Amino acid sequence: MPRPLSPEPAASAPDRGTYAGEDERALVERARSGEAAAFQALVLRHQDRAYAVALRIIRSPSEAAEVVQDALVRVWRALPGFRGDAAFGTWLHCVVARRALDHAEVWQVRRQREVEPDAALDLPAETRPERDPMLVRRLERLLGLLSPAQRAVVTLYYLEDQPIEAVSGALGLNGNTVKTHLHRARAALRAAWEDQGGEP
């Protein structure tokens, strides 16, 4: 993924090691006070996972990068009001998911007329070593069969480990709607998995 634009283009991006040992809460406080370099350090820590969240929902690398850029600008502007009720990364990923869902709904008709490139399946490598890369790739392909709303709830609930209430708040959906999307997504994924010769 290309490096996100700085919220202040004139500010120089920090070296990856500059804030490496700094506590995230301290970085958030410095960023809240307007320190662009501290915000850039937070972005460097979370941009790959934020991009993966957007890509799972949108399925287009260029559009996912655009969504992350938009989300980062929104987070930078909203940062002074961030109370820290959730971790910075959790907040950022929820903003990314909401922007991705909005974007997907707006552009869904256009993308249905286009052929999705195989590159849309090239997600960043998972950092959890216990996951089988072939299994992860197969599941990523199956996610493409879901609607944008279903991909959003599956991504936040299963892949980001967010509770129903957090998914509901992030996506602006009521809890029952989130549960309905999860139920339908599980049924669709199960059927597609079995069609492709997977174990039930």
**CATH code, domain with 120:** 1.10.1740.10
pLDDT in tens, 126-140: 434 345 666 667 777
**pTM score, whole prediction:** 0.62
Question: How far is 116 from 99, CA to CA, in rounded Å?
Answer: 20
Q: Residue 21 has what pLDDT?
A: 64
Q: Residue 186 has what pLDDT?
A: 86
Give a yes or no: residue 29 inside a domain: yes
Question: How far is 150 from 157, CA to CA, in rounded Å?
Answer: 10
Give a yes or no: residue 15 inside a domain: no
CB contact at 8 A, 136 and 107: no
Give a yes or no: residue 127 inside a domain: yes
CB contact at 8 A, 100 and 109: no
Q: Residue 142 has what pLDDT?
A: 81
Q: Residue 105 has what pLDDT?
A: 74
Give a yes or no: residue 57 inside a domain: yes
Mean pLDDT of the chain: 77
**128: containing domain:** 24-195
| Segment 58-85 mean pLDDT | 90
Q: Residue 121 has what pLDDT?
A: 37
Total domains in the fold of the chain: 1
Give a yes or no: residue 60 inside a domain: yes
Residue found under tokens 């216990």: 130
% of the chain with per-residue pLDDT over 70: 72
On the question of pLDDT at 34 being above 60, the answer is: yes
Give a yes or no: residue 12 inside a domain: no
On the question of pLDDT at 8 being above 50, the answer is: no
* pLDDT bracket for residue 3 (50, 70, 90): very low
Q: Treating both helix axes as pointing N-terminal to C-terminal, what angle do 88-112 and 24-32 enclose, rounded to 10 degrees? A: 70
Evaluated on CA atoms 24, 34, 88, 51, the torsion sign reads negative
